[in-house]
Amino acid sequence: MSREFAKLLRRNLTPVEWRFWHSVKSRQLAGAKFRRQVPVGPYVADFLCISARLIVELDGGQHSETVSADAARTRYLEEQGYRVLRFWNNDVMTNLEGVLRIVELALAGAPLTLPSPPATRVERKD
């Protein structure tokens, strides 16, 4: 991915990216320095903390259609030595504090286990 493309992405952050960026810029979260829209090999990471080798990706609805491409991207980034956290845009907009808490735990090196999705209740028709 070219540097010029990354610059274009930095100039055109989505509202969700702006919301997250406003909370992590200038070492506001655990003193960690984050950069936004950073080229990493053939990809551009949404947010990167180099010292913690941590990448935060924010995914919109279109990502439900690109699951295999996202998995390949995550695999590549992990092979480069990064830990990758992915959050849905909706999570950032409705639960920013929870998202930031998970990122803060990752910065501290804590093992992360995310809760299982709630079970779907199926009504029986007898």
Q: Per-residue pLDDT tens for 68-84?
A: 888 999 999 999 999 99
* Per-domain boundaries in the chain: 3-107
pTM of the model: 0.81
How high is the pLDDT of residue 124? Answer: 47
116 pLDDT higher than 70: no
DSSP H helical ranges for the chain: 3-11, 15-24, 67-79, 89-94, 96-107
How high is the pLDDT of residue 1? Answer: 52
Mean pLDDT of the chain: 86
62 pLDDT higher than 70: no
- Measured CA to CA in angstroms, residue 124 lies from 56, 96, 117 at distances of 41, 37, 21
63 pLDDT higher than 70: no
If you average pLDDT over residues 55-61, what whole number do you get? 89
CATH topology for the 3-107 domain: Endonuclease; Chain A (3.40.960)
Distance of CA 7 to the CA centre of its chain: 18
| Residue position matching structure tokens 């809760």 | 115
- 45, 53 in Cβ contact below 8 A? no
